[in-house]
Amino acid sequence: MMPGTARLVEVCNEHYGSSSNNEGAVELWYRWLNEGYPVYATVGTDIHGPADPTLEFAFNVVYAQEFSEAAILEGVRHGHCYLSSGPRLDFAGQSSSGAAMMGDSLTGNRF
């Protein structure tokens, strides 16, 4: 299976240890990255009711200019997102060509 024109793929569903084949999805995502496909990872859930409070569920974090559907989708399109089940992170870099955040590319010399 190849990603085609997909820009993102759900690699975790429910909690990580569930029967949703999360490990297989992560392995496939890594393979696509190693083959040169720039596909961003997302997490979702199909829970239709109260979640088990003893389980840690993964979540998406998207860096967006504002809290709106359009801005969140724009952030995802640029790869300004990550998934986690715990820590929240802030990624940034800088080179002679300018500043960048997660999902961006830098060229030029590093400072």
Q: Are 106 and 93 in contact (CB under 8 A)?
A: yes
DSSP secondary-structure letter at 40?
E
Q: What pLDDT is recorded for position 72? A: 92
Per-residue pLDDT reduced to its tens digit, 47-87: 788 888 888 888 888 999 999 999 999 998 888 888 887 77
For the chain, give the mean pLDDT.
83
Other residues' Cβ atoms within 10 Å of the Cβ of residue 58: 20
- Mean predicted confidence (pLDDT) in 84-92: 79
pLDDT at 110 over 60: no
